[in-house]
């Protein structure tokens, strides 16, 4: 084999090595392919969509991605309220909002996700929100029961006034009055008050407790709870008592003024004098139809018809 042939064979044997090295070197030089962080989905789920300002609220926050489960922490906020950062566990966390932290009205609660070092290359920060209705808690109004009398007999009716009041307005609805075996029908409040009459014989003899039960209507049920009020009344047996009445017709006799006697004589002054009238009146149909020029009058009987 000549020198040229030896050189050609050496080049052929060395060429695959150069080719393999060039390929490997190309991959190392490129550093592989890199991906930009994606934005995960943050789902906010309150335990209830409607609460009062006096209630706590548990909120579940779920953070999900298209590949691995996101890790990191979430913060929940609404208005002036902001929770502390809570670490995700299997992509989820639950935060409890204390009572009184949310304002009354329609609130939006927002959860903000921040990835930790393990997820920062895969996921970016993200947020999610949910709506919540917050109302003032219903209050219990004062029910005042006022019987017309605290002592009656079983033969008497009893009028009872029931007033339902509150510091936050005038409650609407109805009241029912009961005592022992008696129960009235529901009576609607009028300007926060109602009057109910207990028929005679409805209450047992002894000391009875009158109980008024207030039930709010649809307008007041948001603001007021049901409530009761009571009052006591003493009931005795009703018995008839005979009453004797004596009239003394001669007691305290005295003269009557002569000026109280008068009349409307049809025969003129002579008749008035004969009858001893102190006052003679000229009136009636004769006076209303009297013609002073002709000295005549209409004697029709229109007063009769």
Q: How confident is the model at residue 305 (pLDDT cuts 50, 70, 90)?
A: low
Q: Sort strands 126-135 and 50-52 into parallel, antiparallel or unpaired.
A: parallel
Q: How far apart are CA 134 and CA 57, in angstroms?
A: 11
Q: Tens digit of pLDDT for each residue in 287-301?
A: 777 888 888 877 766
Q: How confident is the model at residue 2 (pLDDT cuts 50, 70, 90)?
A: low
Percent of the chain exceeding pLDDT 90 equals 62
Q: How confident is the model at residue 208 (pLDDT cuts 50, 70, 90)?
A: very high
- Res 24 pLDDT > 50: no
- State the span(s) of the chain assigned CATH 2.60.40.1930: 41-135
Q: How far apart are CA 94 and CA 65, in angstroms?
A: 18
* Superfamily designation of domain 142-236: Immunoglobulins (2.60.40.10)
Strand locations in 99-222, DSSP E?
A: 105-115, 126-135, 142-147, 151-153, 158-165, 173-179, 182-183, 187-188, 193-198, 206-216
Place of tokens 């229109």: 302
Contact between residue 108 and residue 129 where contact means Cβ atoms under 8 Å apart: yes
- Res 11 pLDDT > 70: no
Mean pLDDT: which of 34-43, 176-185, 215-224 is highest? 176-185
Structure tokens at 44: 């906010």
Contact between residue 110 and residue 129 where contact means Cβ atoms under 8 Å apart: yes
Structure tokens at 175: 């009241």
The CATH class for the domain spanning 41-135 reads: mainly beta
> Which is more confidently placed, 189 or 36?
189
DSSP state of 148: S
The pLDDT value given to residue 42: 98
The pLDDT value given to residue 107: 96
For residue 3, CA distances in Å to 6, 8, 15 come to: 5, 9, 19
pTM above 0.85, yes or no: no
Q: What is Dmax (Cα atoms) for the chain?
A: 192
DSSP state of 220: T
The pLDDT value given to residue 118: 94
Strand locations in 166-260, DSSP E?
A: 173-179, 182-183, 187-188, 193-198, 206-216, 227-236
Q: How far apart are CA 211 and CA 221, in angstroms?
A: 21
The pLDDT value given to residue 298: 76
Contact between residue 92 and residue 61 where contact means Cβ atoms under 8 Å apart: yes
Q: Tens digit of pLDDT for each residue in 165-195?
A: 998 889 999 999 999 999 999 999 999 999 9
Q: Tens digit of pLDDT for each residue in 69-86?
A: 999 999 999 999 999 999
Lowest mean pLDDT across 112-116, 141-145, 147-151, 256-260: 256-260
- State the span(s) of the chain assigned CATH 2.60.40.10: 142-236
Contact between residue 97 and residue 108 where contact means Cβ atoms under 8 Å apart: no
Lowest mean pLDDT across 3-7, 13-17, 109-113, 147-151: 13-17
Q: Is 295 helix (H, G, I), strand (E, B) or coil?
A: coil
């Amino acid at each position: 084999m000549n020198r040229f042939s030896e050189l050609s064979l050496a080049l052929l044997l060395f060429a695959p090595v150069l080719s393999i090295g060039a390929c490997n070197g190309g991959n190392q030089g490129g550093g592989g392919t890199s991906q930009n962080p994606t934005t995960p989905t943050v789902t906010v789920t309150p335990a209830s969509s409607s609460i009062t300002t006096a209630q706590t609220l548990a909120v579940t926050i779920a953070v999900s991605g298209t590949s691995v489960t996101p890790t990191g922490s979430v913060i929940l906020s609404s208005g002036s309220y902001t929770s502390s950062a809570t670490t995700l566990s299997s992509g989820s966390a639950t935060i409890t909002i204390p009572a009184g932290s949310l304002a009354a009205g329609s609130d939006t609660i927002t959860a903000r996700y921040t990835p930790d070092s393990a997820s920062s290359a895969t996921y970016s920060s993200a947020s999610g929100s949910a709506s919540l209705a917050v109302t003032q808690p219903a209050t219990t109004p004062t029910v005042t029961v006022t019987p017309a009398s605290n002592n009656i007999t079983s033969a008497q009716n009893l009028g009872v006034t029931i007033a339902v009041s509150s510091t936050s307005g005038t409650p609407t609805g109805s009241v029912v009055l009961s005592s022992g075996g008696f129960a009235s029908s529901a009576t609607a409040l009028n300007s926060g008050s109602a009057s109910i009459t207990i028929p005679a014989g409805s209450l047992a003899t002894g000391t009875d407790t009158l109980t008024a039960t207030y039930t709010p209507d649809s307008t007041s049920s948001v603001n007021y709870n049901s409530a009761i009020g009571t009052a006591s009344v003493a009931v005795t047996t009703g018995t008839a008592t005979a009453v004797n009445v004596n009239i003394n017709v001669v007691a305290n006799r005295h003269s009557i003024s002569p000026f109280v006697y008068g009349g409307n004589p049809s025969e003129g002054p002579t008749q008035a004098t004969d009858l001893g009238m102190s006052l003679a009146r000229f009136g009636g149909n004769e006076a209303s139809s009297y013609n002073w020029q002709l000295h005549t009058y209409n004697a029709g009987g229109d007063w009769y018809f």
